[in-house]
Structure 1
Amino acid sequence: MGLLTGAGGVEEGEEMWEILHRVKRTFERSLPVTGHVRLEVRTESGDVAVREGADDVVRVRGRIWVSGPRDEVREVLEEIERHPPVEQIGSTLRIGDLPSRLERDNCSVAADYWIEAPVDTEVQVEVDSGDVKIVGLRGPVVAKLGSGDVEVARIEGDLEVQVDSGDAEGGQLRGRAWFDIDSGDLDLCDVRGPVRAVVDSGDVALADLGPELELSVDSGDVSLASAVPDGARWRVYTDSGDVAVCLPRGSRCVMEAEASSGDLDCDLPLVVETDDEGASARGTLGEGATARIEISTDNGDIALRWRDR
Structure 2
Amino acid sequence: MPTSNSHSLPSLTALRAFDSCARSLSMTAAAESLHVTHGAVSRQIRQLEEQLDTRLFDRKGRGLSLTDAGLRLARTTREVFDQLEQTCDQVRRDAKGAPFVLACSGSFLARWFIPRLDQLQQECPELELHLTATDESDNMRAGVDAALRFAAPPWPKEQKVIELAPERIGPVLKPQLLPETSPTPDWLLSQPLLETLSRRQAWPEWCEAHQLDHSRLRMRQSFEHLNYMLEGALAGLGVAIAPEYLVEEDLRSGRLVAPWGFVETEARLGLWLPDTEISPRAQQLADWLKTALNQ
Q: Could you state the TM-score of these two structures normalised by the residue count of structure 1?
A: 0.24
More strand by share: 1
Q: TM-score, normalised by structure 2?
A: 0.25
Structure with higher helix content: 2
